[in-house]
Amino acid sequence: MAIHLHVHSAFSFLDGTAYPDSIIEQASELGYTAIALTDHDNVCGAVRFVQAAKEAGVKPILGVELTTNCGHLTTLAMNAIGYENICHLLTIAYLHTDRRNPVVSKEALQEYSDGLIILSGCQRGEIPTLLWQGYYQQAKAAACWYQRIFSDRFFIEIQRGGLAYESSLNRRLSNLADDLKIPLVATNNVHYLQREDFPTHDILGCIRNLWKVDEWHPFRAVNAEQYLLNPQSFQNRFSNYTQALLNTDSIAAMCDDAVLPLKPELPKPVVCVGSAREYLRKLVFEGAKKRYGNISDIVQSRLNHELEIIGRVGSEPYFLMVWDIVQEAKRQGIRTSGRGSVVDSAVGHCLGISDIDPIKYNLRFERFMSVERSQLPDIDIDFPREKRDRLVAWLQDRHGIDHVGGVCTFSTFRARSALREAGKALGFPEGEISLLAKRLRGANADDIQNQIARQPQAHHQKTPAKEYTMLFKMCARIAGLPRHISTHLGGVVVTANPLFRYSPLMPTAKGVVRIVHFDKDDVESIALKTDLLSLPILGAVDNPSHPGLYDEIPDDDPETYAMIRAGEAIGAFELQSPAQRALHVKLQSASKKDIIDSIALIRPGPGMGGMVENYIRRKLGLEDVTYLHPSLEESLKNTYGIVIFQEQVLEVAINAANFTPGEADLLRKMISRVRSKSAMQQIRGKVIQKALDNGLSQEAAEHVFKVVSSFVGYGFAEGHARAFGEIAYRSSYMLTHYPAHYLAGLLNNQPMGFYSPNTLMSQARARGITILPLDINHSNYFSASTDETIRIGFRQVKGMTEEMGRSIHARAPFQDLIDFCRKCRPRINTLYTLIAAGAFDSIHPHRRALLWQAEEAMKLARQPDGRRLLDAASDAPNLPEFYETELLGLEYGALGLNANCHLISMMRSRLDALGLMTTNDLTWMPGGQRVRVGGLTLCPHTPPTKSGKQVLFFCLEDEFGLIDVTCFENVYRDSGYLAFSEPLVIVEGMLQKRNLGRTILADKVKKIPRIVSLEEACASLPEPRTHSIYR
């Protein structure tokens, strides 16, 4: 039987429509016993291709379609050496040519030729191209080269895809093969599974090459023949080339089954004394002494239990490697924080990976590792953003650059990207599509029509069926397909052998770590992943004015809790969202436990399950505490009988349905990954049966399943909530007692958190802090703080590089614009932005005049008498300064904030004329009154609700502060949607008050006009003069 040896999957990125597992499924259904995967210049699909093939009993042949300096080349791995050589060749190409368009040289191909089978390639291959151009002798010479290097592992590839020139080309290829006694091989250059998939492939090609569908191009596919032919059609198509068909089978037979072992490789311990097992044990018990003082029986037994499981899985070298990273971070003074399930490990706690004591809080180790779950552990650690890359670089030095790789991620088409890109290819006006895409939030590309109907901010834009149906259909077809490869936020793998044995390594745009071709799921088959994540708050709390403060924060500070329960925690880590602030007002929070529980409560799982209201009522004693099953009292009593942590879900499964801890964790994983209704039904049957067997009633058993299934995919592990809760408390303490330093820290670590820099600075002003504007002579790169002031830094300026910002500070003071231009040589756009931001106000308080002079000043700065020339010219224009509102608009456009006052304060007289109230007025008003308030809209969102109805939440901000606004579904659909598109609105509705919390229950949202933008302001300037004196 013929075998397909030239097959592209969706990982050919915009040149294939099927994922590798679908290819295997189809090949298996068609009766193929083997099939190859040959994506363009990558092996991104290799792991899932091999896994699916093993399950289906199909022999996987790994390969790649290389781009060489002479053309495309189909390359197959005969064995593990061949696969390794493919990875080597690609690594060299990625590192030494263009990382977006890697090119393999023929010299490299010669050097890494072992274990490779070469097919001459498609019509863009070297030999077909030469033959097509009529250069027979050159084609022959090229074929001889391949024959000399690869001997009987070189084949001339012929394809029959119904193209006009093909018969002629195939005759020439056949003649050449006869001439040199090179065997022919037949391929169909598969790019999709079925003919009907052609439009999908075609539109992807148009997206890739920026073509419109109406445009023709020599490289654009003209027909739908490159699909996975069934064996009969394959045979019929090559009926004149029977030997070429037979050769496909011979090639498949030449290839080994297991070229990719799919066995995770552990790092080599670099600091190990004795065996890894002994050394880890020693470190753990040394750490335990520091953590606990005397090691009690409970601690001893827990550590032994954990070490036993770690040993059974054989992951000691992994723990040692992570310990080594944490030690280095401490040595460099980099703050770290363990997150996720590692917090459940006492070994992790003793090694310093996490500061939370899992024994004290009774956290289950099985949530992190278990014998039942064959999967190896995965440790997540947070670092400050600015320092994370430094640590990764150290890790590369420590283990060797070829042993450390970043994990990749695949950007896939979702609604917005699909609309924008498919819309462009189909010829839709870009503005129209862009607006629709912008308004559509959180939608999948195959659900656009439903979401437009559901999201009023989108359905208010017309999408006539005649024009849009094709676009929506094509979006649905490309939904979820990978568009390009990018870098995972934190995933890093370290292996004892060089990584290029398993994957090519490619540089990233940032260039810190080279990434492997596998994403977070696939990479688990070759190595253990560690997530070294950026958590900006860890940078924000390290203020140079108060080093070490964060580590000395006292527990249970009453003023901190008072601030939190007053709903004023804007800027505090994890506690600042409107939902969190409202929750703490209702809960009257007064302990760390309240903070930790709230972090787990404000999640989609508990939210959808309606658990938040129950929790509040039970905590306040307004509702009896009851339990799903008597055996759950112990594990749920601390949360008033409400399941809020993932561990508690496991407890429910263990106690109410008699699962073992490992089985319960498997159940959690299964439910979170289930994608079909029938699979969920199977799990449901199992859970309910086990609960019934455990003596529960049918109703209680159903309830157990409901709790487990509605919650499990979206909840936090308790350990994770505790780790975040600790940071949340400490950041709240800093906000309460050191607001200037803390808020400056937030500013210096943007983007982060829930609120914009402008809102943070408004909050600072409300706390009595003076915000000092950006000043060319006084600002530093970072915003600086004293106890009472924050000076805006150059980092805040849009488009400012760190190098430029630091250089300005180093070269200050400046006498005037010319002096600045002469010393700093800024780019013109940077200069415009600095002027717009008011950075020169202290030396020249007329921004319009400076903007007018900027370009000339740049030119004159290069001349020795430039200042005199500019002075002579400066009286020429008699420009009026911008209005104050315009100045604020310019500053906001350049910095994303206003230092001295709020934009709304400039509109106050207009808003007063409209009879609008301020947020300050609402402070003294009693609840239940009708109000009309104007302000900026912040953070509009529609979280999932228990009823399934859409409720819109957003904040309205004016010069006095924030007020939370709620719009129920009818108001959201009628006018509330404006919060998504209008920066300034008027909200009418009912004021609601509870304790110190305030909300407007809106019944109408209206537009108010906007303020001038930087572009509009610049457009109003006259052209710079080109007077002869300037020459």
Instruction: Pull the structure tokens for residue 416.
Output: 């917005």
The whole-angstrom separation of Cα 860 and Cα 832 is: 16
Q: Which is it for strands 482-494 and 34-40: parallel, antiparallel or unpaired?
A: unpaired
> Whole-number minimum distance, CB 653 to another protein, in Å?
44
The whole-angstrom separation of Cα 612 and Cα 643 is: 10
> Whole-number minimum distance, CB 480 to another protein, in Å?
16
Among 487, 5, 79, CA closest to 238: 5
> Whole-number minimum distance, CB 423 to another protein, in Å?
12
Q: Which is it for strands 789-791 and 784-785: parallel, antiparallel or unpaired?
A: antiparallel
> Whole-number minimum distance, CB 170 to another protein, in Å?
12
173 within 8 A of 156, measured Cβ to Cβ: yes
Residue 531 pairs in a beta bridge with 380, 491
Which CB atom, from 151 or from 239, has the smaller least distance to another protein?
239
Which CB atom, from 107 or from 215, has the smaller least distance to another protein?
215
The whole-angstrom separation of Cα 431 and Cα 438 is: 10
For residue 713, give the 3-state DSSP assignment: coil
Half-sphere exposure of 120 (CA within 13 A, CB side): 31
Which CB atom, from 425 or from 652, has the smaller least distance to another protein?
425
Give the CA angle between residues 802, 806, 812 to the nearest 5°.
Answer: 150
Which CB atom, from 193 or from 353, has the smaller least distance to another protein?
193
> Whole-number minimum distance, CB 426 to another protein, in Å?
6
Which CB atom, from 162 or from 547, has the smaller least distance to another protein?
162
> Whole-number minimum distance, CB 241 to another protein, in Å?
16
Which CB atom, from 390 or from 473, has the smaller least distance to another protein?
473
Query: What is the end-to-end Cα distance of the chain in Å, rounded?
Result: 80
Q: Which is it for strands 116-119 and 379-383: parallel, antiparallel or unpaired?
A: unpaired
Which CB atom, from 194 or from 681, has the smaller least distance to another protein?
194
> Whole-number minimum distance, CB 430 to another protein, in Å?
18
> Whole-number minimum distance, CB 209 to another protein, in Å?
16
The whole-angstrom separation of Cα 849 and Cα 1025 is: 12
Helix (H) or strand (E) holding 440: none
> Whole-number minimum distance, CB 417 to another protein, in Å?
19
540 within 8 A of 335, measured Cβ to Cβ: no
The whole-angstrom separation of Cα 993 and Cα 473 is: 47
Chain-centroid distance of CA 1008 in Å reads 35
Chain-centroid distance of CA 148 in Å reads 47
> Which residue blocks in 543-676 are alpha helix, DSSP H?
558-565, 578-587, 592-601, 604-608, 611-619, 633-636, 646-651, 657, 661-673
Helix (H) or strand (E) holding 877: none
Which CB atom, from 5 or from 206, has the smaller least distance to another protein?
206
The whole-angstrom separation of Cα 770 and Cα 772 is: 6
Which CB atom, from 65 or from 197, has the smaller least distance to another protein?
197
> Whole-number minimum distance, CB 165 to another protein, in Å?
8
Which CB atom, from 473 or from 798, has the smaller least distance to another protein?
473
Among 937, 1013, 945, CA closest to 980: 937
> Whole-number minimum distance, CB 443 to another protein, in Å?
19
The whole-angstrom separation of Cα 326 and Cα 334 is: 9
Instruction: Pull the structure tokens for residue 950.
Output: 């859409």
> Whole-number minimum distance, CB 213 to another protein, in Å?
5
Chain contacts with another protein (rule: CB under 8 A): 162-164, 166-167, 195-196, 198-199, 202, 213-214, 221-225, 426, 469-470, 473-474, 477
Which CB atom, from 200 or from 710, has the smaller least distance to another protein?
200
795 within 8 A of 994, measured Cβ to Cβ: no
| Exposure string for 116-148, b = 16+ CB within 10 A, e = fewer | bbbbbbbbebbbbbbbeeeeeeebbebbebbbe
Half-sphere exposure of 909 (CA within 13 A, CB side): 2
Amino acid at 994: R
The whole-angstrom separation of Cα 210 and Cα 203 is: 10
> Whole-number minimum distance, CB 477 to another protein, in Å?
7
User: Which position has the token pair 């305030």?
Assistant: 998
Cα-Cα-Cα-Cα dihedral of 278, 279, 280, 282, to 10°?
Answer: 90
Residues 6+ apart with CB under 8 A from 154: 117, 118, 120, 143, 146, 147, 182
> Whole-number minimum distance, CB 858 to another protein, in Å?
49
Which CB atom, from 216 or from 924, has the smaller least distance to another protein?
216
> Whole-number minimum distance, CB 167 to another protein, in Å?
6
Which CB atom, from 172 or from 811, has the smaller least distance to another protein?
172
422 within 8 A of 207, measured Cβ to Cβ: yes
DSSP classification of residue 368: T
The whole-angstrom separation of Cα 621 and Cα 616 is: 9
Which CB atom, from 322 or from 478, has the smaller least distance to another protein?
478
Which CB atom, from 225 or from 816, has the smaller least distance to another protein?
225
452 within 8 A of 463, measured Cβ to Cβ: yes
The beta strand positions in 679-786, using DSSP E, are: 770-772, 784-785
> Whole-number minimum distance, CB 199 to another protein, in Å?
5
The whole-angstrom separation of Cα 457 and Cα 443 is: 13
> Whole-number minimum distance, CB 474 to another protein, in Å?
7
Which CB atom, from 199 or from 311, has the smaller least distance to another protein?
199
Which CB atom, from 477 or from 720, has the smaller least distance to another protein?
477
Residues in the chain: 1031
Which CB atom, from 163 or from 925, has the smaller least distance to another protein?
163
> Whole-number minimum distance, CB 200 to another protein, in Å?
9
